[in-house]
Structure 1
Amino acid sequence: MADLWAVLDSHLADAAVLRQALHRQPDLSGDESLTRDLVLQALPGTSTPVKVAETGAVLRIGGPGPCVGVRGEMDALPVTEATGVPWSSQNPGVMHACGHDVHLAALVAVARTIHDAGVPVPLLVVLQPREETYPSGAKDIAEHGVLDAEECVVMIGAHIQPALPAGVVACVPGGVNASSDEFEIVVRGESGHAAYPHLADDPLLALAETVVALQSVVSRSVDPMRSAVVGVSSFQAGQAANVVPDFARATGTIRALSSETRALLHERIVSVSENIARAHDCEAEVRITHGEPVLENDPRLVEVVATQLNAQGMPVSTDLRSLGADDFSFFSERMPATMMFVGSETDASLHTATFLPSDADLRAVARALLAGYLGGAALVTEGLVT
């Protein structure tokens, strides 16, 4: 496959130009039509793209039969850019601060490589909207039926990650990103004059005790060998200094690296909230909004992809897991999938105004995606996925 890697390198200059064009004109979640069309214009092949998830699309490179999907996210973030490069965002207050421009350009380079080489296992380019917001673009695509119609049996993704050294690729089996759910707790009591607290049922006090108690849910309910987070991020109650309010509200996030832990946390949050409220003669209503499931990397796929990376001299890390979330997990719960994390030369953090991966980072992401495609194609050829 040495020639395939050389073909990829031959497409990187054009990929860098495309990356700058995408970076210059970023689109927010749900408004990615221009980004989609720009990428489709750069893709090779004669097949007709299938529009999906409102502003997304899929495009097959190659003939019929089972194929390997490679995901590229299209949306940018509501961030005002401060990189100072000539190709900075021309859309005020919007910036590709998460590397999606790099992922898309790398995916185009891989697609051109597969097209030029005429390899036997087709590639399905998946242009996904709304990775950064709800409702999830990946969920919409996964539930649409287009992946089944295209016989997509493997899904590959890669994300730039400045927490890793440049050129290093984390390719880890099992859960690598957490499930992500949100909760809202509303405690209702009996309002009254603050000078006569005995005549009121104070929901603020009940909810304050609930917030404190929730800090022990992970440490006292979850196996210490499993990772999880229950975090309260907002609290609202009352308007006047001398009035006991009639309700109090808090919201927060729930993260877990296993479906079992996820279910346990949901149960404990409801139980703790309701029982503390009851102890204060109040009532608690808990609403849990389900977000992304756990992102599980398929162990077989990880093994063959890591072999491809090692063969190209790319250092592979096997210990990066995060309680961050990515809706790529809606693909991984339906088919063998692998999400890789690719180190970056930039010192800036993701989602910041100065985040700017280099052309070398673009090459590293493209090589990771090609390794992922080749690993998936190997499983298809060997009949290990159907």
Structure 2
Amino acid sequence: MTPSFSGSPSVSESLLDRIRPALEREISGAVQLRRRLHEVPDLSGQEGPTRDIVLAEMPGDLIGMVAGTGALVRVGGAGPAIGVRAELDALAVVERTGVPWASTRSGAMHACGHDVHLAALVALCRALQAVPGAVPLVAVLQPREETYPSGAQDIALSPLLRAQGITAIVGAHVQPTLPRGQVAATPGTVNAAADEFQVVVRGRGGHAAYPHQTSDPVLALAHVVVALQRVVSRDVDPTNSAVLGVSTLSAGTAANVVPDEASARGTVRALRERTREHVHARLVEIAELVARAHGCEATVEITRGEPVLDNDVALAVRAGALLTELGLTVSRPLTSFGADDFSYLSAAYPGLMMFVGVDGGPGARLHSGDFLPTDDAVRDVAMAMLCGYLAAAERIADDRLAAQANL
């Protein structure tokens, strides 16, 4: 039996019963679309051709272009609508899968499953178009998920999206760490805020044979890097952890020259905004003071990235109740220090990001040249998107009932 929710049981029962068979009929075509998209990936900021392929298969009305190479499409009539996001961009990765429909563009690959997400969204939109009376859906075709500046941030601020009466927004992402057939619809925090930083230490260079005549920024930076490792282990509550990682170091041009400056870059991740701000403050303080102790000066530049991604609790619970009806299993709660700029959209609207288990090949990892979800992933992602859409449709029904009760 289809689960009944508070509000109007007919929303979940009627829509699911009508949309599901229509969606099943669209899956084979969506698989072929996924393969077409996989063959011709476009890197971030260059997604116009990918967008046009998708728009040619997408029903509904084109609202307009957003975020440069993105687009919004409305399926259904007027009134409150539900947003569903899929990403347009590929990665600068060399494909190693060897399939006949592998990337034909050297150094570019859909290595994060965005081809699957796009095809699944097209299938869902085509199914909804065939079902009279379905709650309107706004397809959010988003560019630049993999790079800065964030395409989702631009879309969240777009007047075009705000004019659509969005009541909730839904996303689904393939996840090879989950078994195929499992979907995580976790209430609350699921992804961390993600920021980047650069520390530049300036000293006084000179001949390496006369270190006493220099203020060595390399030595100072080395001590900064070591000191930064105490921030998470000693300054952050261990029940509310964070990540502070230094990933690049740069200094000098010759073995016998002490340079004038040295630099490091890295990332800060946190699951709470207070923790994020605290780590930022300690990063600056430690870099400046340690450098000063070595006779140098340090400057820190922090580039704020995606905010924390929080799933709306009611949407997550409702979607989870529907997943089993569509032949999928609700996985364990899934929270990670990965980041997704969907968080800009879920900060602007009640949001739900689900993670869909896939078979991506032996030793599959996201962003790997070997990562290739099987064709089953298109159906599973489409069904997860449908669950999120139906959960949001219940929210609209609840709001309508509440408004009627207040008349």
Same fold (TM over 0.5): yes
- Report if the CA contact (8 A) 1:97-1:356 is conserved: yes
SS in 2 for 1:13: helix
Aligned to 2:105: 91
For the residues of structure 2 that align with 1:213 and 1:374, how far apart are their CA atoms? 49
2:385 aligned with 1:354: no
2:72 aligned with 1:80: no
2:367 aligned with 1:367: no
Aligned to 2:259: 245
Deviation of the 1:152 alpha carbon: 1.3
Partner deviation per Cα, 1:149-169 (whole Å, 9 max, x = no partner): 111121100000010000100
Deviation of the 1:313 alpha carbon: 3.5
Aligned to 2:300: 286
* RMSD over aligned Cα atoms: 1.5
* Matched residues, number: 385
Deviation of the 1:6 alpha carbon: 1.4
Deviation of the 1:195 alpha carbon: 2.7
SS in 2 for 1:175: strand
Identity of aligned pairs, percent?
55
Aligned to 1:102: 116
Aligned to 1:126: 140
2:156 aligned with 1:148: no
Correspondence 1:289-368 to 2 at 5 A: 289-347=303-361, 348-368=364-384
Partner deviation per Cα, 1:291-329 (whole Å, 9 max, x = no partner): 111111111111111111133341112421111111101
For the residues of structure 1 that align with 2:126 and 2:326, how far apart are their CA atoms? 19
Deviation of the 1:267 alpha carbon: 0.4
For the residues of structure 2 that align with 1:147 and 1:227, how far apart are their CA atoms? 34
Deviation of the 1:44 alpha carbon: 1.4
Q: Which amino acid aligns with 2:353?
A: M
Deviation of the 1:65 alpha carbon: 1.2
Equivalent in 201, 208, 213 of residue 187 of structure 1: 201
After TM superposition, the structure 1 stretch with the greater mean CA deviation from structure 2, 116-125 or 272-281, is 116-125
Partner deviation per Cα, 1:178-225 (whole Å, 9 max, x = no partner): 111110001111122323322221111111000001111101111101
Equivalent in 270, 281, 288 of residue 274 of structure 1: 288
Q: Which amino acid aligns with 1:28?
A: L
Correspondence 1:51-62 to 2 at 5 A: 51-62=65-76
- Report if the CA contact (8 A) 1:178-1:323 is conserved: yes
Partner deviation per Cα, 1:235-294 (whole Å, 9 max, x = no partner): 111222232221111110111111111111100100000110111121110000011111
SS in 1 for 2:82: strand
Q: Which amino acid aligns with 1:189?
A: G
- Report if the CA contact (8 A) 1:167-1:364 is conserved: yes
Equivalent in 20, 39, 42 of residue 5 of structure 1: 20
Gaps of 5+ in 2: 1-15
How does the TM-score come out when normalised to structure 1?
Answer: 0.97
Deviation of the 1:30 alpha carbon: 0.6
Q: Which amino acid aligns with 1:369?
A: M
- Report if the CA contact (8 A) 2:63-2:160 is conserved: no
- Report if the CA contact (8 A) 1:121-1:381 is conserved: no
Correspondence 1:26-41 to 2 at 5 A: 26-41=41-56
- Report if the CA contact (8 A) 2:128-2:134 is conserved: no
- Report if the CA contact (8 A) 2:201-2:263 is conserved: yes
Q: Which amino acid aligns with 1:74?
A: L
Gaps of 5+ in 1: none
For the residues of structure 1 that align with 2:368 and 2:210, how far apart are their CA atoms? 49
Deviation of the 1:64 alpha carbon: 1.0
SS in 2 for 1:332: helix
How does the TM-score come out when normalised to structure 2?
Answer: 0.92
SS in 2 for 1:253: strand
For the residues of structure 2 that align with 1:139 and 1:37, how far apart are their CA atoms? 22
2:239 aligned with 1:225: yes
Deviation of the 1:145 alpha carbon: 1.8
SS in 2 for 1:383: helix
Deviation of the 1:67 alpha carbon: 0.6
